[in-house]
Amino acid sequence: MTHVTHVDGPTDSVTARVPAKVNLQLSVGPLREDGYHDLVTVFHAVSLFDEVTVTSAERTSVIVTGEGGPAVPLGPANLAVRAAAALARATGRRGKAAGQGAGGVRIDIRKRIPVAAGLAGGSADAAAALVACNELWQTGLSVAELTEIGARIGSDVPFSLAGGTAVGLGRGERLTTALVSGSYQWVLAFGAAGLSTPDVYAACDRLRAARRTKDGQPVGVTEPQLSTALMAALRSGDPAAVGPLLTNDLQPAALSMQPLLRRALQAGREHGALGAIVSGSGPTCAFLARSAESARELAVGVTGAGVCRAVVHVSGPVPGASVVQSGAVA
Ligand code: ATP
């Protein structure tokens, strides 16, 4: 077993912890010519964490253990590997994190965030790798500089670095911190199989293209707007006000691809959820509870309904990617 101790001298190994996100609002604009959609979203970081340890090594490698590990790519497609390589390039460690010659990095990812679940697990690992390698290599980049590198890896990476609750514009990468009072109790219900984000967007476009008014005219897609009612409810800190205002434009598409999700959402409502929503592109369902105690009851009720693979009780908001341990490998 690897043993890590704190030292004041050079570090060989750094561990960062990074949260999953849920979207409290996800409004999707019309399909753009470049194939993307403009979004208005409200990200919220919750206490379900992946951990990423980076260790100085001859060659770059990645090991993934835990929830959904076998589904995660182990080569250059891994978002944590891409993040380490991008940081190495940006700081002049050219080729090193890409595994050429000595001075690579071994990346150990311990996953608790399910893969392809609408919880931004891959982006989270990229953010954790950026923070951890920044410390390991003593590159001294600011959070703003890491955010700029992260945005090129994936549009959810800036939020995984920031954490808390934030409004995301553009593809979700242009962030503004949201004012939120108190802490919110959530139950997350994981689906049996993942959903591919591009597939869910494509299904959303198809469903929208098929919409017709009563007299048979196509229904246009309007530009997304931030919900001022949701922002006011978040400032009030009252989960009963927040619950009914949760919205997700991708939910109909996710439900069309996994119809069982309807029963999961229904089970959450029947067991006292103040709000029940598919998170991001799904298939995770997020249920907002009145209190920690009602979240525990809700978790038991949803588990008993047998409509999902696993259930966890989490809270938010929590901070973004941060170093939790740094030291020499003994
Ligand atoms: P989002 O909510 O950001 O759209 P998601 O939560 O639905 O994404 P992820 O868990 O980020 O989905 O995984 C999406 C895909 O990214 C996976 O199918 C996997 O192939 C790839 N991937 C690359 N690196 C990672 C990683 N470190 N962890 C998880 N998935 C990764």
CA dist., res. 54 & res. 104, Å (int): 10
pLDDT of residue 99: 46
Interval 157-212: pLDDT, tens: 999 999 999 999 998 889 999 999 999 999 999 998 999 999 999 999 999 998 88
Q: Is 21 a catalytic residue?
A: yes
User: How many whole angstroms separate alpha carbon 171 and alpha carbon 55?
Assistant: 32
What percentage of the chain has pLDDT greater than the value 70?
93
- What is the position in ligand 1's atom list of the atom closest to the CA of 119? 6
- Residue 129 CB–ligand 1 contact under 6 Å: no
- CA atoms of 74 and 42, how far apart (whole Å): 31
Q: What pLDDT is stored for residue 1 in this prediction? A: 39
Quick: pLDDT tens for 296-313. 999 999 999 999 999 999
Tens of pLDDT, residues 272-283: 999 999 999 999
What digits encode the pLDDT tens for the residues 205-224?
999 998 888 888 888 888 99
Q: How many residues are given for the chain?
A: 330
Q: Residue 100 above 60 pLDDT? A: no
Kind of pairing, strands 61-66 and 104-111? parallel
* Mean pLDDT (whole number) for 83-96: 83
pLDDT at 82: 96
Give yes or no for residue 11 having a pLDDT over 80: no
The answer to whether residue 8 is catalytic is: no
Q: Of 320, 261, 252, nearest to 287 (Cα)?
A: 261
Task: Determine the residue of 41, 79, 109, 115 to mutate for testing ligand 1's pocket, defined as the one with the most ligand atoms within 8 A of the Cβ atom.
Answer: 115
Q: What is the DSSP letter of 275?
A: E
Q: What six digits make up the tokens of 174?
A: 């242009």
- Give the single-character DSSP code of 163: B
What integer pLDDT is reported at residue 218 of this predicted model? 80
Give pLDDT tens digits for 250-267: 999 999 999 999 999 999
